[in-house]
Amino acid sequence: MNPAPQLNRSLSLGLLTLYGLGTTIGAGIFVLIGKVAGAGGFLAPLSFVLAALIAGLSALSFAELSSRFPESAGEAVYVKEGFNSDILALLTGLCVAAAGIISTATIIVGFSGYLADIAAVPRQAAQVGITVFLAAVVIRGIRTSVTLAAVITLIECGLLLIVIGFGATPEFGQGAEKLAASTREIPAGAWYGVAYGAILAFYAFIGFEDIVNVAEETRDAARVVPRAIVLTLIVTTFLYFAVALVAIAATTPDQLAKSSAPLTLVFERVSGLPGHWVSTIAILSVFNGALIQIIMVSRVFFGLSRRSWLPGILGYVNPKTQTPVSAILICAVIIITLTLTVDLENLAVATSFLTLIIFAVVNAALIRVKQTQGRLPEAAFSVPTIVPVLGILSIAGISIFLLGYLPDDLP
């Protein structure tokens, strides 16, 4: 009997890091820079640094667990290993999949509206067409789909570097001075704004966790996946901090907060060029986010199936494309159904809290794994136990903070 087809291990550190960046440097930065500036004022760059520190705790926990258990449906596997509960593991995996599906459906609804406006295509037809196209790309092969995502990610990063480059000129190199001046005499209430800005900015860092679900398609996954997570966090932090510095130099926090396209405003101010390219790339980043989420969710379904937590059909791998075709198709069907029948706004807000719960559970799983399984004999990546402990505390703090705000305060 021939062995069952396996997923194609073709992803390198470079491609995997770009995949991670594609999930973090998405449409969020195009909008969140205004919201964070509105909260933190001229201290907005510090909000991004604080957000990176908060996200970094969970990122490091994911990195160690991915080194220990480099499998699809990573979060569910980590919970199983930590708590030895199939039910809790399945619930975690389904929560991850639900968050990804709702996020994708929300993205596609927004993207279809833009497409319908410029191409006179009925919105529902656009939603179905976009989903089918993305599913076809993902079915084509992991290297094809991740390469497409990587190209779009490079375009996004290129735009941010252009903004930073223009803003580094003497005329606009005042961001650091404004930040330094603001930190000399900080009113007590200003730190509250920085903290709130950091919580908003935290959502711009979410996405690194998607990397763990393509571990079975990564070469030397136990070493490469943790490195990709850390690199994603480092590059994202640099870009966000630098863009925030340029933004507060080129305009005022109040102007940024009131703008519906704050990054476009910054680009126009620092370059003197029309900003329509920024809007176009923002739309492209939305498309990229949907593509990456479909890859992630289908791998979660695949991983849960291979562990016998979901029906076996979801674990089917096409021998030619080496992709989990059944899982991809089921994912696409659910997304189409949601886009055509459900009001996604409240679901999207609930997904933000669902993501926080998943992060807390994964951090707790790492603590349990360290207690029950000890240190890896030849650990590719390991962190002190204090890291997941602080990860849980930071997530609890964010959750408590957000409970005091209306859904509109969430990105």
Lowest mean pLDDT among 59-68, 108-117, 238-247, 269-278: 108-117
Q: Convert the pLDDT of each residue in 77-88 to its tens digit.
A: 999 999 999 999
Q: What are phi and psi of 11, to 5 degrees?
A: -85, 130
pLDDT higher at 242 or 275: 242
Nearest to residue 35, comparing CAs of 197, 168, 214, 233? 197
Confidence at residue 390, expressed as pLDDT on a 0 to 100 scale: 97
Average pLDDT on 335-342 reads 91
For residue 146, the model assigns a pLDDT of: 93
Task: Name the β-bridge partners of 218.
Answer: 11
On the question of pLDDT at 62 being above 80, the answer is yes
Residue 108's pLDDT is what? 86
Kindly state the tokens that stand for 78: 């980590």
pLDDT of residue 126: 86
Question: For residue 1, what pLDDT is reported?
Answer: 43
Mean pLDDT of 290-296: 93
- The 10s digit of each residue's pLDDT in 224-263 is 999 999 999 999 999 999 999 888 888 888 888 888 778 8
Weakest-pLDDT range from 6-15, 79-88, 179-188, 281-290: 179-188
Residue 115 has pLDDT above 70, yes or no: no
pLDDT, residue 297, reads: 96
- pLDDT reading at 379 higher than 80: no
Closest by CA to 318, choosing from 139, 72, 142, 144, is 139
Which pLDDT score is estimated for 178?
Answer: 59
Mean pLDDT of the chain: 86
pLDDT score of 186: 60
Task: Identify which has the larger pLDDT, 248 or 97.
Answer: 97
